[in-house]
A and B are shown apart, each in its own frame.
Chain A
Amino acid sequence: MRMASSNGRPDMEANARYPRRLSLRQRFYVVEVLAGLGLTARHFFGNMWRHTLRTVFRVKSARGAVTIQYPDERRPYALRLRSLHRLVRREDGSPRCVACMMCETVCPAHCIYIVATEHPNPEIEKMPERFDIDLGKCVFCGYCVEACPEDAIRMDTGILEFSSYSRGGMIYTKEMLLALEPAGKDGVPTSPVPIPPDRQPR
């Protein structure tokens, strides 16, 4: 039978992470408690002071909390963030995509589905008749952007909020992807989030 040690636990092997022997100061507890209370009280009064500066004296740089109130406030997104895809347009508004199937081939999640058709301009040869991305499958690896020889697909819209009540609602078609614009400053989306039909307000 093992003897219980002074801190109530059964004797354990010496362990750097859980030292068996506490110092007298730690065992006395009150000093350590006061130190902890001092730390939290310091945070309390410091944050109260900054809140007061901000709300009463309108000092914009004073922040009493690290919270970003997300739907109202967005943190700046990095330029390299991979967000919702968009299809780049030519000057006449048609997709720059030539339906070469590179992205569909490289896609590890098999979420891109392209049906090619003939382009009226013989120098371009092909264009997509359908270009669907199933965002329910997409893993946002960005391989499609890397693979595209025409720079026709990009992931720079800054849109991250897409959701649907059905699997079908997660499929974004060529028309939806063509309508999107690149994100503006700090990654703020400039085009509206395409809302799938099953999320339209009734």
Chain B
Amino acid sequence: MSGVVGEVLARFGPVAFVMFVVLNLGGLLTWVERKQSAIMQDRIGANRASIFGIRILGLLHPLADAIKMLTKEDFMPARADRLLFKLAPFVSVFFALAAFASIPFGDTITVGGRVIELQAVTLNVGILYVLAMLSLGVYGLMMAGWASANNYALLGGQRAAALMISAEVAIGASLMGIVMVYGSLDMQDIARGQGAPLLPGMFGAWIPAWGIFTQPLAFVLFLTAGIAATKRIPFDTPEGESEIIGYFVEYSGMKFGMFAMADFLETVVIAGMTTALFLGGWQVPYLAAAGFAFPWGATLSLPPLVVTALQVGAFLFKVVVMIWFLMLIRWTLPRFRYDQAMRLGWMGLFPLSILNIVVTGLVILAVRG
């Protein structure tokens, strides 16, 4: 493998992997949502869709949904802005998908003398990029709200913008602590930094320096604000099923499906970010590039390919666990009222994340001298 073909494969391999995983996870989440909520509530969940009597635990329901949405009437209000109305769902899905690009899912692998970073795009400002994509995603909702020529949709779009601003501020401010601790905006650097032992003078090599241990407050703040950024319950004020239906009230068919899809993709993105920044990314505890080196002295050397497979597997496992947790929150907590969501964002999360920055700075000063 050499020359142009190798270069193209090296560039597009990780992109294709990320797209494959994220899109499939996003589609699968419709099934996860139904089944997990059902099991949490002592129910069975959707299980009737069948092809020749084969039901495979209701896994055919996403397929049935897709067929239903593609064959439904694609209605557009007469006074809608035709271009913006059609563009909005695509914008929403695009930025949700693009946000995953700079999240690393593994260390480097060497194929044919070529060192490949296991992330779709190698960016030294990865965190800013993800934040930018998450913020841009709200433009789709605002466009949908404005273009629908519907007061409720407009209210939903306005709420989406307000919620996104209050959540983004808290997300950005809470991530500053992580940036200070690991000294980089590159998510791959941050993931690597989380492999080092935490306070080796005190704990030896027992605890890895994962973000959740170095920045526990930032973890809670980021998770809360991140759930708000997915605009799902408990922060579903833009949708507001019980009051305004929200920004997509005029959408039907697959355009509506794309808005729902964007929510699921954002759930995957938030789970991926939480994993990459707070749960050690692709790090497996005590696994270095040469193999396991346990703190009690034992070692187990592994070939590089196995190490990479373990790391990618660990990343996917952590993402799936985080998605499970986000779903657990979504199906447990009641929704916030609009003013409560705003209050929580501006008077709770934001000051606390500023406080976190100050305390982190002082601690870093004290530890590193």
* B-binding residues in A (CB < 8 A): 8, 30, 33, 36-37, 39-41, 43-44, 47-48, 51, 64-67, 69
Contact = CB atoms under 8 A, between A and B. Distances in A.
Given A43-B40, A67-B42, A67-B44, 9 more contacts: A30-B220, A33-B332, A37-B328, A37-B329, A40-B332, A41-B328, A43-B39, A44-B40, A65-B43
Contact of B42 (A30, A37, A39, A43): A43
Counting chain A CB atoms within 10 Å of each CB, the highest count among B38, B42, B339 belongs to: B42
A65 B42 contact: yes
B355 to A, nearest CB: 15
A47 B42 contact: yes
Contacts of A37: 328-329, 332
Contacts of B38: 65
B340 interface: yes
Given A8-B339, A33-B333, A37-B332, A44 B220 contact: no
Majority DSSP secondary structure for residues of A touching B: helix
Interface string B164-207: 00000000000000000000000000000000000000000000
A73 to B, nearest CB: 11
B38 to A, nearest CB: 7
A43 B37 CA distance: 10
25 contacts: A8-B337, A33-B329, A36-B332, A37-B329, A39-B332, A40-B40, A40-B328, A40-B331, A40-B332, A43-B40, A43-B41, A43-B42, A44-B36, A44-B39, A44-B328, A47-B40, A47-B42, A48-B39, A65-B38, A65-B42, A66-B42, A66-B43, A67-B43, A67-B44, A69-B44
Closest 5 CB pairs of A and B: A67-B44, A40-B332, A65-B44, A44-B40, A47-B39
Nearest to B339: A8
A8 B340 contact: yes
B343 A8 contact: yes
Contacts of B343: 8
A37 B220 CA distance: 14
B33 to A, nearest CB: 13
A64 B39 contact: yes
Interface string B340-355: 1001000000000000
Contacts of A64: 39, 42
Contacts of B36: 44
Contacts of A43: 39-42
